[in-house]
């Protein structure tokens, strides 16, 4: 049992900034003199409307969301968006292109296949999803309703370093790297993100959608998944995930205080640089992703010996460096270094890796 906070390298739910947790704790039973918790407030009350509007305005400011795009807070997480994207956008031609660069983009493509014809723009499983294809390698359809890609692949540790171009709306799943660097929102028809990695506690998806795409939903689309309905009702067609939105607002305030997306980008570069520099010089540990495609959010590595990997994960946990085991699909190790991970946490991880390597030459 730990008496102090640990360094949690989980891929999600992940660490939240300590100042955010402390403020939420201080406001837990009495928010802003209301005499009640945000958890207890009516979503129609003025007190909560201020929370909601403030969160939405901060998100627009920090992500530089243009007025051409609407911000939605929807239930069902990113997985719910696998169906929502298809039902809202695929009806134009009944076809869509999917870049399959990992597990979740594959799941998104499979879900979309229930509602129309999915065409695979790329499939990196030929190299166990260890790379991101370049623009010229994408096989794009002239009649696709949209192109879908997953900006960061948590399981395999790869990340797109560019926004793919297409003659149709581009849709991005940014669940695991949103708020970590500046984003060209205007280049996307839809950006969606499960909030449990860089934004808030699990239980919600943030969706940014070009207003020109509203109203294209299929007749079978559940009302709760209709982008048009959610935009018209300001994400309050039903009771929204009120506490998630409040926590997202606190995280956005923290991001702003830390220098916004430029500040987050500097920290992500520093964290990833520390870890990858060590991996590139290590005689024991090997990075899994190709160098030009490495994620700066999820660093995957291994020793080449499954038993030794397991020993590393166990001994790291005893040092307060937890959740370093790789996903069950791939094994090995994975260090998720999202926005809330202090640089000191990565330094301590690298120091332990150096010690472990010396002990297992």
pLDDT in tens, 76-126: 999 999 999 999 999 999 999 999 999 999 999 999 999 999 999 999 999
Nearest to 253 by CA among 18, 66, 55: 55
Cα–Cα distance, 6 to 186 (Å, whole number): 38
For the stretch 43-52, contacts whose Cβ atoms lie closer than 8 Å and that sit 24 or more positions apart, written own/partner, are 43/236, 43/239, 43/240, 43/242, 44/236, 48/242, 51/242, 51/245, 51/246, 51/249, 52/235, 52/240, 52/242, 52/245
200-214 burial: b if 16+ Cβ within 10 Å, else e: bbebbbbbbbbeebb
Can you count the helices (H) and strands (E) in the chain? 9, 14
Q: How many percent of the chain have pLDDT more than 70?
A: 100
- Spatial neighbors of 43 by CB under 8 A, at least 6 apart, are 52, 236, 239, 240, 242
Nearest to 335 by CA among 315, 361, 355, 316: 316
> Given pLDDT bands bounded at 50, 70 and 90, which one contains residue 338?
very high
Structural domains in the chain, sorted by start: 21-257 (3.40.640.10), 260-359 (3.90.1150.10)
pLDDT in tens, 285-336: 999 999 999 999 999 999 999 999 999 999 999 999 999 999 999 999 999 9
């Amino acid at each position: 049992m730990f008496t102090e906070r640990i360094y949690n390298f989980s891929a999600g739910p992940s660490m939240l900034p300590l100042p955010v947790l402390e403020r939420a704790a201080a406001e837990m039973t009495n928010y802003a003199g209301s005499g009640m918790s945000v958890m207890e407030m009516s979503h129609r009350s003025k007190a909560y409307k201020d929370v909601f509007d403030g969160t939405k305005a901060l998100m627009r400011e920090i992500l530089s969301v243009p007025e051409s795009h609407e911000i939605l807070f929807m239930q069902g997480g990113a997985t719910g968006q696998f169906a929502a994207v298809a039902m809202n956008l695929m009806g134009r031609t009944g076809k869509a292109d999917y870049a399959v660069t990992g597990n979740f983009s594959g799941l998104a493509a499979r879900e979309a296949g229930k509602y129309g014809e999915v065409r695979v723009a790329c499939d990196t499983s030929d190299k166990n999803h260890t790379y991101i294809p370049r623009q010229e390698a994408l096989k794009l359809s002239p009649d696709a309703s949209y192109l879908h890609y997953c900006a960061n692949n948590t399981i395999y540790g790869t990340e797109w370093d560019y926004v793919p171009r297409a003659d149709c709306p581009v849709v991005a799943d940014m669940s695991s790297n949103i708020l970590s660097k500046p984003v060209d929102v205007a280049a996307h028809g839809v950006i969606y993100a499960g909030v449990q990695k860089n934004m808030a506690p699990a239980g919600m998806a943030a969706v940014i959608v070009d207003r020109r795409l509203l109203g294209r939903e299929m007749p079978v689309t559940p009302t709760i998944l209709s982008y048009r309905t959610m935009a018209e009702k300001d994400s309050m067609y039903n009771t929204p995930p009120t506490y998630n939105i409040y926590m997202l607002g606190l995280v956005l305030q923290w991001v702003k205080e830390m220098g916004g997306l430029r500040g987050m980008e500097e920290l992500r570069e520093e964290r990833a640089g520390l870890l990858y520099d060590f991996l590139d010089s290590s005689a024991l540990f090997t990075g899994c992703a190709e160098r030009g495609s490495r994620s700066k959010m999820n660093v995957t590595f291994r020793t080449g010996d499954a038993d030794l990997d397991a020993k590393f994960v166990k001994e790291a946990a005893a040092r307060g460096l937890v959740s370093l085991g790789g996903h069950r699909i791939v094994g090995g190790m994975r260090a998720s270094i999202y926005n809330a991970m202090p640089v000191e946490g990565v330094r301590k991880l690298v120091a332990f890796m150096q010690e472990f390597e010396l002990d297992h030459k």
